Amino acid sequence: MEILAFGVQADEKPLIEKAFAGRHEVRCLDVFLTEDTAPIATGHEVVSTSVNCALGNRVLQTLAAGGTQLVAQRSTGFNNIDLDVAERLGMTVARVSSYSPYSVAEFAWTLGMAVNRRIVRAANRTRDFDFRLEGLMGRDLHGRTVGVVGTGKIGEAFTRIAHGFGMRLLGWDIAGNPACAALGMEYVSKERLLAESDLISLHVPLMPATKHLIDAEALRLMKDDAILVNSSRGGLIDSQALVAELREGRFTGVGLDVYEAEAGLFFLDKSLETVEDDTLARLVTFPNVLVTSHQAYYTRDAVGQIVDATAANVFDYTEGRRSQNVLVPRS
């Protein structure tokens, strides 16, 4: 059987081919699965997708009409897939329930430290042999307060790093994590966390209840000199509200690895095109904002685990097994 994989990055391709070697053929495409590209999957029982593929009603209808029976998503998030439609069409949908939490947690700290210590500005200056320190002053994080929104596996890994910095730990989640509590984390209301934290990092999934969790009201609760980091899902932050607060000169720094309208932009080269997203265009102009292209997960360790889990999901499907990774079981 030939598996069709959409949205495959160049670094990811050899890992995918190795994972399926000797079991199934795999055809890797760098294009994402959309309404325009869905017909390519005709005749493929199994397709693999990335988080920036769009699997709405029309795409799933096209896949089903072409014979696709399994969608193997190469990510933990699945908000890009209409599961109700997939179930109605009798399709199986599987995802990667977990992978290295350290990849995302470490990158979240990379963003936080980069905006705190003005690393990008400093690097750009030194390339021009400008070695002034003006405007580069950061602050110690030791002794300051970190707010961790979501204390699952990634949030816990992030908290352990914060503990190593010697920070006061505040957490918010629907249920506390004993490992974080053991490190001295105090679980508080979201409002108190936002008001008291010097650095806030988001580690919750995107769902209807968390969409725009950080809205205009939440942003106004934050300290004027706070640092905000989002390496989870772009839709957690109301981007227009964030721009409005930044225009008022608020926040020491904002580190964004995700953006709520990133589909069709992130993972693609748009350098020779006019980007029509005015909100994103405004965000990247602020000197205290650092935007990266959804790369927090992108380590050899994490991607290797994602690919291996995806291959296991396909093998389970072909051999009639069902694992915890299945979101919509075979009908």
3-state SS of 109-158? HHHHHHHHCCHHHHHHHHHCCCCCCCCCCCCCCCCCEEEEECCCHHHHHH
CA dist., res. 92 & res. 250, Å (int):
46
Tokens encoding 307? 């690919």
Per-residue pLDDT, 331: 64
Q: Tell me, what's the pLDDT at 93?
A: 97
Q: How is residue 48 written in tokens?
A: 């693999």
Nearest to 263 by CA among 243, 237, 287, 235: 235
pLDDT of residue 79: 86
State both tokens at 264.
Answer: 């069709």
Taking residue 104's Cβ as centre, other Cβ atoms within 10 Å add up to: 27
The answer to whether 35 touches 58, Cβ cutoff 8 Å, is yes
- Alpha-carbon distance 329 to 331, whole Å? 6
DSSP secondary structure of 168-198: EEEEE-SS--HHHHHTT-EE--HHHHHHH-S
Q: What is the structure's pLDDT at 255?
A: 98
Q: What's the length of the chain?
A: 331
pTM, rounded to two decimals: 0.91
> CA-CA distance, 5 to 299, in Å (whole number)?
19
Render each residue's pLDDT in the chain as its tens digit; 331 residues: 999 999 999 999 999 999 999 999 999 999 999 999 999 999 999 999 998 899 999 999 999 999 999 999 999 889 899 999 999 999 999 999 999 999 999 999 999 999 999 999 999 999 999 999 999 999 999 999 999 999 999 999 999 999 999 999 999 999 999 999 999 999 999 999 999 999 999 999 999 999 999 999 999 999 999 999 999 999 999 999 999 999 999 999 999 999 999 988 898 888 999 889 999 999 999 999 999 999 999 999 999 999 999 999 999 999 999 889 999 997 6
pLDDT tens for 94-137 read 999 999 999 999 999 999 999 999 999 999 999 999 999 999 99
Whether 203 contacts 257, CB under 8 Å: no
Q: What are the catalytic residues?
A: 233, 262, 294
**pLDDT score recorded for residue 77:** 86
- How is residue 213 written in tokens? 């969790």
